[in-house]
Structure 1
């Protein structure tokens, strides 16, 4: 097998690699073992993961595959097509926290979880969104972390043998605590919108896990954390734009946007017009 791995993202919470595998005539189909629990998200092609004699699963771009630490497996490629995939490697501490909250387990490879799953349609779209973020000229760390946590959550939920596990774990946290954590994060983002936040950093501030914060923030606010931060930055930028002589690039940087292009695309996606068009509209009033 010819395998090309490329590092796309690295943070304290997780690292992400892009792998392209192509079958080769000299393939020996030897067993492999991972040194960490990994989540494999195929984005093209097809693969077969073999866990033992006559035990294999087929995965394409609709699936997630779990690779357990120390668990032997081998990969083959039906039709000799090969595959392309994202490999998500969460820190051991973060993975244990997320798995505990989602399913009450501490490892990916346990009887309570299937070693693979069919992703919900929304998660397939999220994986493509993650890929686009990773290919952007300036990578939005918070967005990549939040979408990755969401992908892990959806994969684990879909792989749960007994979905009642999730409900029992979820009931441990009270509504009041959820709201307090969310409001504390909103306060941080409102006070320091220009800062380059990371999901795990925000979670530490409110004494919770990245997964829990990502989930309850979306449920309570109606937006993911990174979209709320963009809205907060845009509100600050709108105020600054009232001073007609202030350069838009200067406003973009002061509001926390990486560059003018990022500012313009974010502004258009929320308000349906560019910053320049907004200024022209205001000048006519």
Structure 2
């Protein structure tokens, strides 16, 4: 990717100190190969396509002024400095230090296609993302890989779950950084913090929350809050909130003759189809099927 075209510290997208700004859908073409898709809590998520005939296969590439985490969609050979170039495939993640000059070598007939995350200084420092290696190749576990690709695909729907997308990207960054949670902070007061967030969600489950808002309310960064909440409850925050809405909707669903479109709107879903899709994912049946069968509600 040509990160020279990415504005340094784009504060409209990634506000200082994790401000309360909503994550933003971008769909912004940056030069001939790069598209920005989402501005989240301290990062920009994008897609990159470099065809085999592009000149950048034959010249040095510069990652830019931000660290990057990259999920390849095609095999590509990448190297920096004196270290030998390595083939990176879809089973790996690449972590680039800021201001790294690197080499790109052709492996796939499709060229270089990838999903990338350009990370702001504050979040990169919190994660301990940079190692001084220039570029680091590491295995990528299936769960964060799938979550990010699901989130990227969902951004093209009319009703994307921005909280879920934000959490998915932050989970990938945490996986790539592999810095453990500070145990002292996690052990002192984490349960009370998670309880406070659960109270906020339960008090206004249909509100469109952001990680920045929830984090500000409990004085946690978005990344640390998402990781702490998941560890203590077993749920990402977006899924916990969605299940609150779905389970609270059940009494209405099970009443004969109730208007499902009205129920969907009352419980924070943008459409009947959005509600039905989420209901099936949670309970294994549609709302209409739940009315006519004895469905165990979990």
1:116 corresponds to which residue? 137
In structure 1, how many angstroms separate the alpha carbons of the residues matched to 2:283 and 2:83?
55
Counterpart of 2:79 in structure 1 is 50
- Answer whether contact 1:34 1:68 (CA < 8 A) is retained: no
Paired with 1:26 and 1:149, the residues of 2 have a C-alpha distance of 33
Distance 1:272-1:46 versus aligned 2 partners, 3 A rule: same
- Which residue of structure 2 lines up, in the alignment, with residue 225 of structure 1? 237
Contact 1:40 1:87 in 2 (8 A): yes
CA distance in structure 2 between the partners assigned to 1:121 and 1:11 by the alignment: 22
Decide whether the 8 Å contact of 1:51 with 1:73 is kept in 2. Answer: yes
Between structures 1 and 2, the one with greater helix share: 1
Deviation at 1:136? 3.2
Aligned residue in 1 for 2:64: 34
Cα–Cα, structure 1 residues 79 and 141, in superposed 2: closer, same or farther, change >3 Å?
Answer: closer
Instruction: Work out whether 1:126 is the aligned partner of 2:147.
Output: yes
Match of 1:78 in 2: 107
**Does the aligned pair in 2 maintain the 1:13–1:90 contact within 8 Å?**
yes
- CA deviations 1:112-157 (Å, max 9, x no partner) are x972211123333334333333343322111111111111111111
Normalization by structure 1: what TM-score? Answer: 0.82
* Unaligned segments of structure 1, at least 5 residues: 100-104, 158-164
For 1:260 and 1:122, the matched residues in 2 are separated by: 29
CA deviation after TM superposition for structure 1 residue 176, in Å: 4.7
- Judge conservation of contact 1:47–1:60 (CA < 8 Å) in 2: yes
| Deviation for aligned residue 1:4 | 2.2
What is the TM-score with the length of structure 2 in the denominator?
A: 0.79
Question: Matched residues in 2 for 1:214 and 1:25: separation?
Answer: 39
**Shift of residue 225, structure 1, vs aligned partner:** 1.1
CA contact 2:148–2:165 (8 Å) conserved in 1: no
Give the number of aligned pairs.
Answer: 264
- Kindly indicate whether residue 195 of structure 2 is the aligned counterpart of residue 183 of structure 1: yes
- Hey, what does 2:123 align to over in structure 1? 94
Aligned Cα root-mean-square deviation (Å): 2.6
Cα separation, partners in 2 of 1:209 and 1:117, compared to 1, 3 Å: same
Contact 1:3 1:19 in 2 (8 A): no
What is the CA distance between 1:219 and its match in structure 2? 1.8
Q: Deviations over 1:83-105 (max 9, x none)?
A: 221111233323322x1xxxxx3
2:274 and 2:223 map into 1 onto residues whose CA distance is 26
The aligned runs of 1:96-175 (5 Å cut-off) are 96-97=125-126, 99=127, 105=128, 107-110=129-132, 115-157=136-178, 166=180, 170-175=182-187
Q: Give the distance between the partners of 1:142 and 1:134, measured in 2 at CA.
A: 11
1:200, 1:210 within 8 Å by CA — same for their partners in 2? yes
Structure 2 residue 218 is matched with structure 1 residue 206: yes
Shift of 1:56: 2.1
Q: C-alpha distance in 2, partners of 1:20/1:29?
A: 16
1:201–1:89 CA distance, 2 compared to 1 (3 A): farther
